[in-house]
Structure 1
Amino acid sequence: MAKVKVHVFLKPGVLDVQGKAVEGALQGLGWAGVSNARVGKMVEFDLADDVADKDAEVKAMCEKLLANTVIESYKIEIA
């Protein structure tokens, strides 16, 4: 089995309301040097070894379900 991690984040320029909330909370707790906080998601799963082109398969998963490619970008890690 291959271990797959897909990191999904809003594209630059898209307002990240959660990121702004986290940034404000961290600053309010005394971490004044925090800025440009962005919140994303990570999807982790196992992929069978018999999948021929793992990169292409995971990219198709991202394009069809895991990321809204209009406003989100993603990064794939396969180990």
Structure 2
Amino acid sequence: MARKDDPATVEYETKAKNLLKAELKRKGVTYAQLAEKLAVLGVHENERNLNNKISRGGFTAAFLIQCLEAIQATDVRL
């Protein structure tokens, strides 16, 4: 398992964070709106937790996919 301070881990966490932030911006979705959309999927996070989690970038692939599905992002460019 990769360590949190491994440069490769940090690089990909940053990429995941930037990808999610870009999709939110492209769709015009705020963290508060994302929290509402995630709740519909059964994922309960408040605006502050989302802000912290996304800013850190250390979230799971499952969380990334939940967010993308919640905002109906069907095509994502890497």
TM value normalised by structure 2: 0.26
Give the number of the structure whose alpha-carbon radius of gyration is greater: 1
**If each structure's strand is expressed as a fraction of its own residues, which one has the higher value?**
1
